[in-house]
Structure 1
């Protein structure tokens, strides 16, 4: 059996060298295209058609092809029959020109018609004609017919199906995503013992990736590396497959093997006349044996896959170990793992040594200090290189080989984006630099997207600036990713400026626009949102449902949050909502749950109660199958709007309807309804709701206590409110400034200075910074009671407390004093401008202190030395105030 297989391989080699001479150079190119199964030319591309001027091509064949070119199929059929009726014996060469044209177009229907004529005239088939027919049928999607032809050749004494035909058919199976036909094709290959080549493995690889079967890819790698020293083209396809399926470690290892090939000057790649990359070495088929029959593994059950994956662990030939190691079962493991850290030792015992070139790559190239935590691998003494031999790969490799390296690096970098491995991306980028592989736009695109996730958009912008220095214009995708990052950071100016640089009109760029619209919503900048939508319209970027969700949130209100709605604003809101909904209908979109939620929230905020309840009924009918907990969130929005609008009876009605429908209430629901009791001034109902809340398994939270205190304050029960505040703290719930402000507000309205002072002392003891509302209620309470000097002193002390003590005691104090005592008439504008971004409380405090200084008060930067502060501390310190 072994002798037969060897003889078969020799016969294939002899046939390869004794191919019939082509009539011209174009004929040879055509055969190359079919053999590589990579031809994909348009039916209108006739300049590369190889058989036009072959002397053996009859005038009748040219007429048939010309008729097919102009689309006159009826005339072509008649001319084909004329060829069949010609006098004399016919051969396959009399139809070869037509068959080749049908293979390149492809035209499977006419090739079958030609095939029928050949069978009627008993024309003997040759390998070239069969290959053209298989190519036309496979590329045209007629896989069953192609399989039938290859099956019939098994009984043909003159023509046998050869490996290139099966490779062509496997390509067609991959294009049609037909695993069943691919399975039958592999069975046919096994039964006819045609063997496998690198092209076969590449086609099988496509099918495995299509099925997202990582185990199958590993099995293909082991089977391929068992017999082959894979070319750089094949290695590049394995890198791409591993990255697509998320196995970055295996992809990284194969990438190192690619660099070892280039380093050893074994990556011989040429470009054919058709512009295709080809390995310059012979692709000698490997015969199929029982040992390698597991090539159809990806079509078996999962248990069979596991058996194959765990069971086949054949070692490669010694001559292949230097270049192609088994990365999936006991092979060499690189000293670097995919997180960029060094491994202290190899992962398996008795692992073979790599060649000098690959050792140099693994130890010298990667260990150049891109990440400080990386340590240098100490190479073995016999693998050290002299300085003269440490040449950059770019000085040794051919341009096609460098292209394959660059593409594989690009695949790895883009895989680092979704796997969030920015350290590996940095390591790869440095490795490219050390190897002399020039990064392309695609390289920078993957690198920028990867480092944004780990180091932020500022780092990504530095990379963009370095690109611009090299006159490399970034992709629109790169700009879009940076714009999304700036939008997430609420840096709207930068995000919008980057969007202005996008020139494409593809729908995928809707994401950065939506991100900017979301940032406009957060920052309450509807005017900027209008500009963003106008740019989308100029670029013909259609809105998606997320865009409409944001539009309802941005433009669903007019006056809110600045003032209450009125008749004019209500009319404007109705007009806006109708415009947005009309645009949705024109684009064929219906409301989503979130868009309806945002719409209901906008109507409630604007005070349009009837319209809000109407849309609630619409939402109930549209989303009756929605998760009940999502429905509860929508009801909470309605309840909150009703309570704020003082529509307590409608809120109770909606709450009862919610309970009758079996919708689950949550903590937010109970908090809203307890606050509703403040409108009814009924603390008994609030306690009943708390009891119901506890029965449902929810514990009172800070908002629960806030709502209960509101009910007590509505009944002017300040003592009860202070007692409830003490109970809140005793249960381990830390009150916030809003809770204290609620008590201060009611105390100010009622003129209760005896309540204001202990609350202020409680804020100090809880180490909570006051906010502008705290200052306003305290100052106004003293003014209303006629204590003007105390009011100024309290304003000064609380303003000091708004500025953190750390800032006052250190270097910023001098700068603050200069701003407070500055005699420039524009000093107030300067204060606002300095702190407008994120420290507006400091601006408020400095303006208050400046006003105190203008009125003649002496400014003390030690607030606790104030007589007012000391009095509060002594008066309420013993009893611990309201805390």
Structure 2
């Protein structure tokens, strides 16, 4: 052009530079500016403003400020457009205070600001949600007589909708003549808020306004109509778009496909998806993801896999939500094996995407407890040379332990160590867990080596849980004793597991010693550990020591729990220390604890066993007034107490009273009642109780398991013949001959001496006559005594 005599002035270069900025080619725009300077063409205010605006719009406000300074050096004064461009750049970067200072500078210079300047600042304030200043600026515009146009109002409405304040945006829209953008923004805001009333109102206003819709408006409206359940109206909008001169795009299809899928109309969704695939639109994975999710929701696994494969073949990565949903569906329909087949099918896809899919499959399968299938995913990845993440290794190892599938643990551990080493703490914990399950000594050697490389190693609680399940409490004690509290540590949960198990297995001294060790390591025992110790002391009859520990809890600011009181009250009641047990119950109530059924039952049972029936009945009245409800043990204890006192009528009253409430005694309760009635000669009533007992499935199953068909032959047949022994005169005579022995032999007071005394008696009568004695011994766990009695009878 220069050769043809055309003079390239500042206007020409400015237009040229502006064109490059519109295309987003910033480097070329800057080169043309340099060329302009080299050609000796001096930039004017417009030239600099175009440069400043172009860089500011891209967020490069520092570059824009640089040109502003050059402009001033050249003796050119920035105008309102220039300053507005600088403000826009600061707003884009979220630097509102700097933008605000530029605005104040403009006012100080006496430059009259216009709507565009205010709109730029308002847009920036809307982005950060500072609506107080937004409304302040709108008020200021009105005071200065600056007309607020549609663009500014739309900016405020858009900001309010994004902030979840769509209803406020609608109020503003009613004071202006809205355009397509206004209604699109309001509809989209209500869609995000799932506000059906708001969507209906906006749709009504849109129809009344008779606004000419664009593609964006149609897409938003289609989505809103689907949410409102107006599927046919949404389809009509879609079909009417060509008549409006609008071209359907991929977003339109995505809205339609998604809406039909969520409405469960998968056939219509598939038709639209086929129409989209056969169209000439730019490819979009969004529609594919929508249809795959829809197919998954309708359990159409084969078609979902087919569409997924088509998407993969196009070289596009489905999003995580899509392939997670697909993996979930395949697992539901075909279990873990189906997931493995699917992963083998898509093995040719992009390695990066494939690794992501496999990692998600490992996460899902391990969460579902399918450790073997997760291990299968690992093998598939290794076969094609993919790398398993350290998290993937960890999840598989953790799952193998959870599923009790430990044969594969050494293999996975070795593979991890070869690839990543032993640096990760969570893998060290897995190694500790594995070694402790094999040999605690080897585990301790491993920990010694790890101490030199790591600042601190925490022994996981799962290690002690495993050893507890394996019955290796002494190994657990050996391991936890090696904890030094500095380089190797254990949390309070680990200590509580070991202490509890030691107490229950009778290693009380070791448990107490471990409590001392805890304190040395700066871990004070909690109430759970104290409960275990108190319970252990009670089991060994050390009530004084147990009560001392209980009394000391207040001094160390620990509050006893219901379990604490329950352990003490149960043990004291069992051993006959009923006054102490009662005082603890009263203290428990004063401390605003609510005694549970087990606490009441323990004391009631204690009163009944020691002949204090009146006290038991008094406690029962308090029991029934509380929030707790009596159970079968309560009924058994009361029946036992009445039978001991010979109050059979009262025993029967309790039996029928609780029977009406749906509470029946357990097996021992029935045995007490039947024996008591037989001893009193009330055979008919005993037979009725016996018949009732045989109707309870749980009791008959218990008899099968505990006594067996030999000890309890009556169980082998049903009907009135079962009770023949109770009606038969000969049987009555035989039972009567046992009265002197049976009357004092309840299932809780039988001892070896009494069993031995029975050896001297004549066993000429049949076995069924003394079934209650042998049954009682078996039910109390005294099987050896029961065997001895049975042998004496048979010999």
Give the whole-Å Cα distance in 1 for the aligned partners of 2:377 and 2:578: 48
Name 1:119's counterpart in structure 2.
107
- Secondary structure at the counterpart of residue 191 of structure 1: coil
- Post-superposition Cα deviations, 1:475-499, rounded to whole Å, max 9, x if no partner, equal 877766665554xxxx899899999
Give the whole-Å Cα distance in 2 for the aligned partners of 1:183 and 1:128: 25
2:151 matches 1:169: no
- Judged with a 3 Å threshold, the aligned counterparts in structure 2 of structure 1 residues 51 and 130 are, in CA distance, closer, same or farther, namely farther
Name 1:655's counterpart in structure 2.
585
Give the whole-Å Cα distance in 1 for the aligned partners of 2:248 and 2:19: 23
- Judged with a 3 Å threshold, the aligned counterparts in structure 2 of structure 1 residues 616 and 136 are, in CA distance, closer, same or farther, namely same
Equivalent residue for 2:48, pick from 54, 58, 75: 58
Deviation (angstroms), 1:102: 1.1
Deviation (angstroms), 1:656: 0.6
Deviation (angstroms), 1:91: 2.5
Name 2:297's counterpart in structure 1.
425
Asked whether the 8 Å contact 1:135–1:168 carries over to 2, the reply is yes
Asked whether the 8 Å contact 1:709–1:724 carries over to 2, the reply is no
2:342 matches 1:466: yes
Asked whether the 8 Å contact 1:153–1:161 carries over to 2, the reply is yes
RMSD: 7.1
Equivalent residue for 2:513, pick from 571, 574, 579: 571
Asked whether the 8 Å contact 1:209–1:217 carries over to 2, the reply is no
Alignment of 1:560-599 (within 5 A): 563-572=505-514
2:383 matches 1:396: no
Moved more, 217-226 or 440-449: 217-226
- Judged with a 3 Å threshold, the aligned counterparts in structure 2 of structure 1 residues 689 and 323 are, in CA distance, closer, same or farther, namely closer
TM-score for both structures, normalised by structure 1: 0.47
Equivalent residue for 2:180, pick from 197, 212, 215: 197
Q: Can you give the 5+ residue segments of structure 1 that lack an aligned partner in the other structure?
A: 1-19, 31-45, 243-248, 271-277, 281-321, 328-333, 341-360, 367-384, 414-423, 521-529, 584-595, 624-630, 745-756, 780-792, 802-867
Give the whole-Å Cα distance in 1 for the aligned partners of 2:174 and 2:344: 55
2:227 matches 1:250: yes
Q: Which is bigger in relative contact order (C-alpha 8 A, separation at least 6)?
A: 1
Equivalent residue for 1:102, pick from 74, 79, 90: 90
Deviation (angstroms), 1:188: 4.8
- Judged with a 3 Å threshold, the aligned counterparts in structure 2 of structure 1 residues 698 and 443 are, in CA distance, closer, same or farther, namely same
Name 1:703's counterpart in structure 2.
633
- Judged with a 3 Å threshold, the aligned counterparts in structure 2 of structure 1 residues 796 and 119 are, in CA distance, closer, same or farther, namely same
Q: Can you give the 5+ residue segments of structure 2 that lack an aligned partner in the other structure?
A: 1-13, 34-42, 312-317, 348-353, 380-387, 405-424, 433-453, 466-489, 539-545, 675-686, 718-762, 777-795
- Judged with a 3 Å threshold, the aligned counterparts in structure 2 of structure 1 residues 661 and 116 are, in CA distance, closer, same or farther, namely closer
Alignment of 1:257-406 (within 5 A): 257=234, 261=238, 268-269=248-249, 391=274, 393-396=276-279, 398=281, 401-404=284-287, 406=289
Deviation (angstroms), 1:166: 3.6
Name 1:865's counterpart in structure 2.
none
Name 2:615's counterpart in structure 1.
685
- Secondary structure at the counterpart of residue 126 of structure 2: helix
2:210 matches 1:216: no
Deviation (angstroms), 1:442: 0.8
Give the whole-Å Cα distance in 1 for the aligned partners of 2:673 and 2:31: 95
Deviation (angstroms), 1:58: 2.8
Name 2:321's counterpart in structure 1.
442
Deviation (angstroms), 1:655: 1.0
- Secondary structure at the counterpart of residue 122 of structure 2: helix
Asked whether the 8 Å contact 2:127–2:159 carries over to 1, the reply is yes
Asked whether the 8 Å contact 1:90–1:123 carries over to 2, the reply is no
Name 1:588's counterpart in structure 2.
none
Asked whether the 8 Å contact 2:20–2:29 carries over to 1, the reply is yes
- Secondary structure at the counterpart of residue 501 of structure 2: coil
Aligned residue pair count: 584
Give the whole-Å Cα distance in 2 for the aligned partners of 1:233 and 1:871: 95
Name 1:670's counterpart in structure 2.
600
Give the whole-Å Cα distance in 1 for the aligned partners of 2:650 and 2:342: 62
TM-score for both structures, normalised by structure 2: 0.51
2:776 matches 1:794: no
Asked whether the 8 Å contact 2:94–2:124 carries over to 1, the reply is yes
- Post-superposition Cα deviations, 1:276-321, rounded to whole Å, max 9, x if no partner, equal xx889xxxxxxxxxxxxxxxxxxxxxxxxxxxxxxxxxxxxxxxxx
Give the whole-Å Cα distance in 2 for the aligned partners of 1:63 and 1:21: 13
- Post-superposition Cα deviations, 1:130-188, rounded to whole Å, max 9, x if no partner, equal 5543333333444344444445555778x8544444444344445666x4xx7766555
Deviation (angstroms), 1:674: 1.6
- Judged with a 3 Å threshold, the aligned counterparts in structure 2 of structure 1 residues 570 and 619 are, in CA distance, closer, same or farther, namely closer
Name 2:383's counterpart in structure 1.
none
Give the whole-Å Cα distance in 2 for the aligned partners of 1:518 and 1:707: 42
Deviation (angstroms), 1:104: 1.9
Deviation (angstroms), 1:465: 5.5
Name 1:28's counterpart in structure 2.
22
- Post-superposition Cα deviations, 1:70-104, rounded to whole Å, max 9, x if no partner, equal 9999x979x97996798566423433542332132
Deviation (angstroms), 1:702: 1.1
- Post-superposition Cα deviations, 1:204-247, rounded to whole Å, max 9, x if no partner, equal 6447756x7554355446656876768579857986x99xxxxx
Equivalent residue for 2:497, pick from 555, 564, 571: 555
Alignment of 1:706-745 (within 5 A): 706-708=636-638, 731=660, 733-736=663-666
- Judged with a 3 Å threshold, the aligned counterparts in structure 2 of structure 1 residues 621 and 648 are, in CA distance, closer, same or farther, namely same
Name 1:135's counterpart in structure 2.
123
- Judged with a 3 Å threshold, the aligned counterparts in structure 2 of structure 1 residues 558 and 21 are, in CA distance, closer, same or farther, namely farther
Q: Which has the higher helix share?
A: 2
Give the whole-Å Cα distance in 2 for the aligned partners of 1:689 and 1:447: 61
Give the whole-Å Cα distance in 2 for the aligned partners of 1:518 and 1:670: 38
- Secondary structure at the counterpart of residue 106 of structure 1: coil
- Judged with a 3 Å threshold, the aligned counterparts in structure 2 of structure 1 residues 165 and 598 are, in CA distance, closer, same or farther, namely farther
Give the whole-Å Cα distance in 2 for the aligned partners of 1:519 and 1:741: 43
Give the whole-Å Cα distance in 2 for the aligned partners of 1:99 and 1:93: 10
Give the whole-Å Cα distance in 2 for the aligned partners of 1:176 and 1:365: 32
Give the whole-Å Cα distance in 1 for the aligned partners of 2:632 and 2:429: 43
Asked whether the 8 Å contact 1:60–1:83 carries over to 2, the reply is no
Asked whether the 8 Å contact 1:235–1:254 carries over to 2, the reply is no
Specify the structure having the higher radius of gyration (Cα).
2
Deviation (angstroms), 1:105: 0.8
Asked whether the 8 Å contact 1:564–1:606 carries over to 2, the reply is yes
